[in-house]
């Protein structure tokens, strides 16, 4: 009985948490359109965030997705050569990268770089009373801190995912050209023939949603930071763990939906 | 005299624990009121409530005639543009330089030219004795300098009411005296309404027009400096004469505290 009660309480907490994220997003969306703060200054802060969270993540995202592309090609070729279908490596890489791994790997890199940074930044501001200071200066902390982050991530995550797709395909191409009997031209043509627009757009939609989740969790964890430096560490860790869990969960939901709707697309 | 701040039966609770038990007081326009009290007396909670950072469980707080317990977000923003609060630790935005911190409310709430704002930042920094420090980051300043930079930011919008939270706490006597001087200068120069929360008696007697002594969430004494100083109330005397609490519970109660809840 005790166990059932604990599971029930845990489920209730989880639903309340997701509700809190939705509330933060809805409030940010409202403040984006009816902000008491100056729009030009908000855009400046969003640009600053976009540079830090998006442009700053380019090198590491490129490197990781390039390697992932090579790994998928290697693993795929290992199986496909038994079937005498090694020429399918290009389509395997392009589809798995654009539909799944490009956005997912990007999300995990961004969680590590920016989700944790959002929680640490806002958490530290909570501990040092900077959030209170913003409020007493009539600067709503959500409008001032969260809205620019949502804006930046909504733009940068899809851009990063597209770049990650390109780098992943490039990784697969390296394998294809070096040991898969492809030329650069034939690999590009094989990739182009294998992909449909929907592969790319489904990945981009996922990346956009991942970006919003990472921002909401990072900021929510920052705001819920208690007193003391230890609490900042706790909220940063929670931001990373919860973001990864939610991103994978949402990915599962999206992939299932896309799979069920495959006949109609 | 017109009241800038008025609290009526103000009660504030954290969960089930009530920390302010029905306070009633007024702060007149242009008056400097110092709230003194020991640790845990509720003075910081009172300050946070007066600026709208804590919601009272009951009662009313009128700031410039508006009941902030019932004010809308828009009304609250309008009130906040008329007040300045210097936090105990400064609470300067760590990612912005000192100058950017002071310019922040001006950039967000006014349409002044950036060059005008730059001049204003320099004036405010000069007022608090920090000329030339606009490009320093808050982490590069000493505790006393950070407090003064926080004063400059609180002054940025030329507020009608200024709040100070423990302005001289943790500072050496010379820097603390400098801060007191600064508050006196502001008082003289701008005839602002000033509310200071402190536990430094010397500082309180120097800068206050009126003193409110808080004890365990109640107003123990309230009045002009001389009146509070000469109070015969035992609890007030104990605080002013720095006498330690000697109330001891009997031996049985004492033992019970150690053993309560243990099976």
**B99-119: pLDDT as tens digits:** 999 999 999 999 999 999 999
Report the C-alpha gap between B99 and B137 in whole angstroms: 9
Q: How far apart are CA B178 and CA B164, in angstroms?
A: 15
Nearest CA in chain B to A133: B91
Burial code (b: 16+ CB inside 10 Å, e: under 16) for B173-212 equals eebbebbbebbeebbeebebbbbbbbbbbebbbebbebbb
Closest-CA residue in chain A for B88?
A129
| Residue A265, pLDDT score | 52
A135, B53: Cβ pair inside 8 Å? Answer: yes
| pLDDT recorded at residue B263 | 65
Q: Give the pLDDT band of residue B250 (cuts 50, 70, 90).
A: low
Dump the DSSP string for B7-42: EEEEEEEETTEEEEEEEEEEEETT-EEEEE--TTSS
CB contact under 8 A, B53 and A128: no
Order of strands, edge to edge, in the sheet holding B17-28?
A: B17-28, B3-14, B58-63, B66-67
> Would you tell me the crossing angle of helices A197-223 and A2-33 to the nearest 10 degrees?
100
Q: What gap in Å lies between CA B3 and CA B62, rounded to an integer? A: 9
Cβ-based neighbours of A233, under 8 Å, separated by 6 or more: none
H/E/C letters for each residue in B62-100? Answer: EECCEECCCCCHHHHHHHHCCEEEEECCECCCCCCCHHH
CA–CA gap between residue B80 and residue B83 (Å, rounded): 5
* SS3 label, residue A181: coil
User: SS3 of B193, please?
Assistant: strand
CB contact under 8 A, B52 and A128: no
Please give the span between the terminal C-alpha atoms of chain B, in angstroms, as a whole number.
61
Burial of residue B123 (number of CB atoms within 10 Å: 0-12, 13-18, 19+): middle
What string of DSSP letters covers B139-183?
GGS-HHHHHHHHHHHHHTT--SEEEEESTTTT--HHHHHHHHHHH
In chain B, pLDDT over 90 holds for what percent of residues?
Answer: 49
Q: Which of B50, B104, B107, B108 to mutate to test the interface with A (most CBs of A within 10 A)?
A: B108
B234 inside 8 A of chain A by CB:
no
SS3 state of residue B213: strand
Structure tokens at A56: 């700053």
Separation in Å, CA of B165 to nearest CA in chain A: 12
User: Which among B85, B92, B94 has CB closest to A136?
Assistant: B85
DSSP label at A81? G
Give the Cα separation of B199 and A68 in Å (integer): 61
**Distance (Å, whole) CA A60 – CA A109:** 8
Nearest Cα residue to B27 out of B254, B208, B248, B235: B208
Q: Is the pTM of this model over 0.90?
A: no
CA distance A68 to A71: 5
pLDDT at A152: 96
Residue contact A132–B104, C-beta within 8 A: no
Q: Do B107 and A124 touch (CB under 8 A)?
A: no
Q: Which two tokens stand for residue B32?
A: 């400097």
Residue B192 DSSP class:
-
pLDDT confidence of residue B248:
55
**What residues have CB less than 8 Å from A38, skipping those under 6 apart?**
B107, B108
Specify the pLDDT at position A145.
95
Residues in chain B with CB shorter than 8 Å from the CB of A132 are: 48, 53, 87, 91
- Which of helix, strand or coil describes residue B5? strand
- Give per-residue pLDDT as tens, B166-221: 888 777 888 788 888 888 888 888 878 999 999 888 889 999 999 999 988 889 88
pLDDT in tens, chain A (265 residues): 788 888 888 899 999 999 999 999 999 999 999 878 888 899 999 999 999 999 999 999 999 999 999 999 999 998 888 888 888 899 999 999 999 999 999 999 999 999 999 999 999 999 999 999 999 999 999 999 999 999 999 999 999 999 999 999 999 999 999 987 888 999 999 999 988 888 889 899 999 999 999 999 999 999 999 888 889 999 999 999 999 999 999 999 998 988 888 765 5
Q: Could you write out the DSSP letters of every residue in A205-229? A: HHHHHHHHHHHHHHHHHHHT--SSH
CA distance A231 to A2: 29
Residues of chain B contacting residue A137, judged by C-beta atoms under 8 Å apart: 80, 104-105, 108, 153, 157
Q: What is the pLDDT of residue B191?
A: 78
B1 pLDDT tier (thresholds 50, 70, 90): low
Check A139 against B104: CB less than 8 A apart. Answer: yes
Q: ipTM score of the complex? A: 0.87
The H or E element that residue B210 is part of is strand B210-215
């Amino acid at each position: 009985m005790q166990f059932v009660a604990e599971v029930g309480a845990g489920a209730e907490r989880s639903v309340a948490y997701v509700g809190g994220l939705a509330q933060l997003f809805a409030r940010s969306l409202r403040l984006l359109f009816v902000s008491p703060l100056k729009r030009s200054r908000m855009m400046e802060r969003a640009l600053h965030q976009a540079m830090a969270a998006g442009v700053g993540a380019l090198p590491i995202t490129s490197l990781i997705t390039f390697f992932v592309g090579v790994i998928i090609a290697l693993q795929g070729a290992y199986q496909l050569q038994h079937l005498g279908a090694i020429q399918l490596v290009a389509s395997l890489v392009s589809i798995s990268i654009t539909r799944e791994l490009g956005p997912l790997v990007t999300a995990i890199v961004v969680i590590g770089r920016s989700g944790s940074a959002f929680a640490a930044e806002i958490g530290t501001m909570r501990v040092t009373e900077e959030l209170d200071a913003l409020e007493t200066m009539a600067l709503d902390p959500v409008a001032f801190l969260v809205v620019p982050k949502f804006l930046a991530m909504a733009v940068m995550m899809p851009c990063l995912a597209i770049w990650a797709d390109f780098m992943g395909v490039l990784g697969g191409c390296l394998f294809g050209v070096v040991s898969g009997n492809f030329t650069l031209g034939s690999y590009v043509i094989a990739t182009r023939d294998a992909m449909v627009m929907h592969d790319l757009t489904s990945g981009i939609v996922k990346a956009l949603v991942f970006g919003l989740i990472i921002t909401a969790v990072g900021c929510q964890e920052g705001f819920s930071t208690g007193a003391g430096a230890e609490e900042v560490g706790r909220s940063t860790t929670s931001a990373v763990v919860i973001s990864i869990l939610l991103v994978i969960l949402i990915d599962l939901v999206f992939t299932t939906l896309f799979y069920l709707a495959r006949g109609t697309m | 005299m017109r009241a800038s701040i008025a609290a009526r039966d103000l009660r504030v609770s954290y969960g089930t624990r009530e920390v302010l038990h029905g306070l009633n007081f007024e702060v007149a326009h242009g008056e400097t009121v110092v709230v003194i009290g020991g640790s845990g007396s509720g003075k910081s909670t009172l300050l946070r409530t007066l600026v709208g950072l804590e919601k009272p469980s009951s009662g009313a707080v009128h700031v410039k005639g508006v009941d902030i317990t019932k004010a809308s977000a828009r009304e609250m923003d309008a009130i906040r543009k008329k007040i300045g609060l210097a936090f105990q630790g400064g609470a300067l935005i760590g990612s912005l330089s000192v100058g950017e911190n002071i310019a922040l409310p001006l950039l967000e709430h006014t349409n002044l030219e950036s060059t005008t704002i730059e001049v204003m930042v320099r004036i405010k920094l000069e007022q608090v004795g920090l000329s030339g420090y606009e490009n320093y980051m808050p982490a590069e300043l000493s505790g006393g300098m950070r407090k003064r930079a926080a004063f400059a930011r609180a002054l940025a919008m030329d507020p009608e009411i200024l709040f100070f939270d423990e302005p001289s706490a943790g500072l050496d006597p010379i820097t603390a005296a400098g801060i007191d001087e600064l508050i006196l200068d502001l008082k003289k120069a701008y005839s602002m309404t000033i509310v200071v929360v402190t536990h430094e008696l010397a500082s309180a007697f120097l800068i206050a027009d009126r003193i409110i002594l808080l004890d365990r969430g109640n107003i123990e004494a309230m009045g002009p400096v001389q009146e509070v100083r000469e109070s015969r109330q035992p609890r007030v005397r104990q605080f002013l004469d720095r006498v330690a609490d000697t109330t001891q519970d009997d031996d049985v109660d004492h033992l019970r505290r150690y053993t309560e809840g243990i099976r």
